[in-house]
Amino acid sequence: MSIESELTHVRRLLAERRVADAYERCGKLVRVAPMDPRGWRLAAEVGFRSNKPTEAIEFLRRAMECAPHDASVLIQYGQCLMRLGRRREALAIALQAEKLVLERPPLQDALGTLLTHVEQATRAVPYFQRAVQNAPTNVDFRYNLAMAQRMTGDLEAAEANLDIVVAARPDDAEAYSARSDLRKQTRERNHVAQLQAVHRRLKGRRAAFAVEFALAKELEDLGEYSSSFSHLDAACQSYRALLRYDVAEDVAVLEKLRTTQTAKTLLSLGPGFDTQECIFIIGLPRSGTTLVERILARSAGCKASVAMLRWVKASVSARSQPSLRASIGGSTGAVNTSKSRRSGAAGMVPKGLYTRTAASRMTGPRGQSKE
């Protein structure tokens, strides 16, 4: 078989959400071409889609052995570490990637994103700047640069770049919202008229509520409190209408937890961490559990691992799927997954990081190929 055709076939299976089929196909691919890093990288992506992050990390190690000086492999490895909440290791990989020559804008943007996620925004800015310089019409690269500039306090530059973003993409509600939050608006310098026009144009569309939140914020800055609250109330109602919450789903998850995580099942998993001092953070939604998790994760010797609901789904799913590593002659690792954000990094990424990457990719910005 042709390696190129097999890679294309697996990607097509992923695009069709046939993850189990892609998983099986990857096993054949890496057996036929064990020295081709592309197969191992794709296997890693399939591993994550199959809730097998431990295997995915191992596959990326194999890819790095095949291509030790390939920056894209190294960056993808760092991103995977972030998805597992292993921030310190991801930082070490990001610093290692800085020593390599990055000539292509997607790689420059990807390394900037990784550095941002490991809280090295100052180091990230030059990579975003190079990506924008080499690809000035790429709106996502410029948006990422603006967000890194915001994190480093260069608010004027961030606003200038977001002005360019919304000019190139007039319906980018997220960019409007980010720009409005950069500073307190004044009578002499604000975006109220523009936001009102955009909101009228987007009314009835999903993006409209983000623009209305921005409009409410700017009107409040100008002291127009009644109008501001009216827009805030409307935006909140629009946002709530988009939420799909059914308490029955939570009840079903808890029941699944009760029936699957029995003493017998847990004992059969074998040894895990070398300590029994695990910390479970339990609470209602929006009650501060994520904040507590992040505070603890920053402590020496404490590592964030999983969110409860994802852990339940991952553990149940893992028992119904074969091990890809087993299919190529290895052993199966324990299931371990963490909350993910739109950038594809771990749930430990601060909410202020709005760098854009494709949710289905591990490397490269939104809409860009990682190859």
Residue 345 has a pLDDT of: 32
Q: Specify the higher pLDDT residue, 60 or 309.
A: 60
Axis-axis angle for helices 19-32, 37-49 (nearest 10): 160
325 near 332, Cβ under 8 Å? yes
- pLDDT tens-place string over residues 175-220: 999 999 999 999 999 999 999 999 999 988 888 999 999 999 999 9
Would you state the torsion angle of the CA atoms of residues 117, 120, 122, 125, taken in this order, to the nearest 10 degrees?
Answer: -40
Say what the pLDDT of residue 300 is. 64
Instruction: Confirm if 334 and 36 have CB atoms less than 8 A apart.
Output: no
Q: What's the average model confidence in pLDDT over 149-178?
A: 95
**Range in 140-154, 223-237, 354-368 with the lowest mean pLDDT:** 354-368
Give the torsion sign (CA, 365, 53, 318, 327): positive
- Mean pLDDT value of segment 45-57: 82
Mean pLDDT for the stretch of residues 81-104 = 89
Q: Which residue has the tokens 């007039």?
A: 170
What pLDDT score was predicted for residue 324? 45
Average pLDDT over residues 243-267: 82
Average pLDDT on 165-173 reads 94
Between 297 and 367, whose confidence is greater? 297
Q: Which residue has the higher pLDDT, 47 or 147?
A: 147
Q: Residue range 299-327: average pLDDT?
A: 54
Tell me: the pLDDT tens digits for 102-138? 989 999 999 999 999 998 999 999 999 999 999 999 9
The pLDDT-based confidence of 141 (bands split at 50, 70, 90) is very high
What's residue 283's pLDDT? 75
In sign, the C-alpha dihedral spanning 122, 126, 128, 129 is: positive
Higher pLDDT, 271 or 110: 110
Cα distance between residue 1 and residue 120, in whole Å: 44
Average model confidence (pLDDT) for the chain? Answer: 79
Percent of the chain at pLDDT > 70 equals: 78
User: By mean pLDDT, which of 82-96, 213-227, 303-317 is the weakest?
Assistant: 303-317
Q: What is the pLDDT of residue 85?
A: 81
pLDDT-based confidence at residue 64 (cuts at 50, 70, 90): confident
Q: Is the dihedral of CA 117, 148, 298, 310 positive or negative?
A: negative
- In 3D, which of 264, 243, 257 has the Cα closest to residue 314? 257
